[in-house]
Amino acid sequence: MSSSTLIREKSNRVQHDSRQMTDEQLLLSYRSNGNEMHFTELERRYRQPLLCFLRRQIGNEYIAEDVLQATFMQLHLKCGQFEEGRKVRPWLYRIAMNQAIDSKRRNRRHENVSLNQSTSSVDGQSYELVEMVRGECPLPEETLQVDEQRQSVRKAVGSLPQSLQTIVSLVFFQGLKYREAAETLSIPVGTLKSRMHSALLQLRSEWPELQFSEAA
């Protein structure tokens, strides 16, 4: 067996092993021994969901791409600050959100944010935010009726205060758990749940035509 074949097989084994590791194991391993494959695996896992999140926070695809690169650069630079026992996902979203805030400060014209939403629940009460907005990014082609409903949901969520838009985006669209979203925003879980409930009540009150309904 040639040396190039052996190297390729070893590389494939390392890549396979990295895909079996948790986010926390990958980051701690990268921090301790500089294994670039482990960092690359983290990028692979988070590139698309982070890009979707940043597009909604910033409202500009090209700037979102730049902020995404800055986020991964900060992940590299700050990996030494990651505390064992924490979860990577809320920590990384916190980095991304801070980078987005910095970017919007530098680009005031991008302050208006547009968010897409999906379906979830608060304290056992489920509210349907129209099924067609469940999160894929970019959005697939839809019928005219579905597209109109999607635009209505965007407008509805865009009417919320920025702090509520961010919470709804993290929990509904990005799928973070309440605890993770609260850690990302550095607020108590109880505060996050209260704000989420307020957001849904406001949506139901101001946009009754979207038929936010309580699931059985």
Smallest CA-to-CA distance from 116 within 135, 95, 96, 93 is with: 135
pLDDT confidence of residue 150 = 62
- CA distances to 27, 120, 162, 193, 202 from 124, rounded to whole Å, are 34, 10, 25, 11, 18
What CATH number should be reported for the domain holding residue 136?
A: 1.10.10.10
- Residue 130 pLDDT level (bands cut at 50, 70, 90): very low
Say what the pLDDT of residue 154 is.
Answer: 72
Give the domain extent around 27.
Answer: 13-110
Looking at every residue in the chain, the average pLDDT score rounds to: 75
Q: Could you give the CA distance from residue 43 to residue 10 in angstroms, rounded to a whole number?
A: 21
Domain shared by 83 and 24, yes or no: yes
Q: Assess whether pLDDT exceeds 80 at residue 195.
A: yes
pTM of the model: 0.64
**Do residues 124 and 188 share a domain?**
yes
Contacts of 184 (CB under 8 A, 6+ apart): 90, 91, 93, 94, 97, 170, 176
DSSP state, residue 209: G
Same-domain check for residues 159 and 81: no
Looking at the domain assignment, is residue 7 inside a domain? no
Residue range 118-136: mean pLDDT, rounded: 40
Give the per-residue pLDDT at 65. Answer: 92
Residue where one domain finishes, among candidates 110, 129, 155: 110
pLDDT in tens, 64-122: 999 999 999 999 999 999 998 899 999 999 999 999 988 888 776 434 443 343 334 44
pLDDT digits (tens, 9 = 90+) for 20-60: 899 999 999 999 998 889 999 999 999 999 999 998 888 88
The domain boundary, picked from 42, 75, 110, lies at 110
Say yes or no: 17 and 103 in one domain.
yes
Instruction: Flag whether 180 is in a domain.
Output: yes
pLDDT of res. 11: 52
In a domain, 216, yes or no: no
* Whole-angstrom distance, CA of residue 156 vs CA of residue 169: 13
Backbone phi, psi, residue 195, to 5°: -70, -40
Question: Are residues 76 and 131 both part of a single domain?
Answer: no
pLDDT confidence bin for 1, thresholds 50/70/90: low
Residues 128 and 105 in one domain: no
In whole angstroms, what is the distance from residue 113 CA to residue 214 CA? 27
- Residue 125, classed as helix, strand or coil, is strand
pLDDT confidence band for 156 (50 / 70 / 90)? confident
Average pLDDT for 131-144: 45
149 plus 103 within the same structural domain: no
Q: Output the pLDDT for position 116.
A: 40
